[in-house]
């Protein structure tokens, strides 16, 4: 685990360089997906936009927009959790939806996710880590629909082309025969349900929907997030399909390459 930033507020997770350079290091299945000509056009436009904003002095997060793909190849996916865009505060976003490094306080939505886990599995003996890398390495694709954001400007890179990329990534997962659960929390995530009509799944898919875990909606109708039971329901269904399911309460990450926020 990385030590906390110094009081000088050193920013550890700012993006620089290009998306294409990062794509070159992705697992083959993801890289091949992103090499499709129509997605290459979108990625080139995104790279141009990011370069323009960086030249104008904007600070962009996270350091590695494709971190979720590095941790979870498509054939390993058991669960997809869809977020909206990365956290926009310095040293928060680490390329995994809802996750922050352990040295950062848990944002409100993540706190509500831990609250729901405690309702389903009981209060843990030790506080859960705020980094969700341990989930990603078990097969939870933690994918935001926009993979970059500007400092202190939520949704600043929405509708810039990222949605075409992340929808294609979800559709790539649906082509895998392995059973999987889509956890769609909030209207933005639930809009991804239409991808099931565009890409007939190669294997069984269970879709669970609820309100977003944000405090603004977590307790409200029609489907409150708190009390939804989705973590246990996902595991029950996966195990009925012969899968291992996810150890949601795992305190430490499975061994893998170290990285920012791990």
As annotated, the active-site residues are 85
Contact 62, 93 (CB under 8 A): yes
Q: How far apart are CA 235 and CA 78, in angstroms?
A: 9
Sheet holding 79-83, edge to edge: 140-144, 79-83, 180-185, 205-210
Contact 113, 127 (CB under 8 A): no
Contact 109, 136 (CB under 8 A): no
Q: How far apart are CA 121 and CA 119, in angstroms?
A: 6
Which residues, in sequence order, are bridge partners of residue 142? 81
Q: How far apart are CA 91 and CA 244, in angstroms?
A: 33
């Amino acid at each position: 685990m990385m030590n906390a930033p110094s009081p000088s507020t050193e920013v550890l997770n700012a993006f620089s360089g290009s998306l294409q350079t990062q794509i070159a290091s992705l697992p083959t299945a993801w890289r091949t997906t992103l090499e499709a000509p129509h997605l290459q056009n979108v990625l080139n436009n995104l790279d141009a936009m990011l370069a323009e904003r960086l030249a104008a002095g904007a600070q962009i997060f996270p350091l590695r927009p494709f971190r979720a793909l590095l941790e979870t190849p498509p054939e390993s996916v058991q669960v997809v959790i869809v977020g909206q865009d990365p956290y926009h505060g310095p040293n928060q976003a680490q390329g995994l939806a809802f996750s922050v490094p352990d040295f950062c306080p848990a944002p409100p939505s993540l706190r509500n996710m831990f609250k729901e886990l405690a309702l389903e599995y009981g209060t843990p003996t030790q506080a859960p880590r705020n980094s969700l890398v341990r989930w990603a390495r078990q097969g939870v694709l933690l994918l935001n629909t926009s993979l970059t954001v500007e400092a202190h400007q939520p949704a600043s890179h929405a509708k810039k082309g990222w949605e075409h990329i992340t929808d294609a990534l979800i559709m790539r997962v649906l082509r895998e025969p392995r059973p999987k659960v889509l956890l769609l929390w909030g209207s933005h995530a639930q809009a991804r349900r239409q991808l099931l009509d565009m890409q007939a799944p190669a294997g069984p898919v269970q879709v669970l929907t609820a309100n977003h875990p944000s405090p603004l909606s977590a307790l409200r109708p029609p489907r409150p997030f708190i009390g939804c039971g989705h973590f246990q329901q996902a595991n029950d269904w996966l195990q009925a399909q012969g899968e291992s399911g996810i150890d949601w309460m795992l305190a430490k990450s499975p061994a893998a390459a170290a990285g920012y926020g791990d």
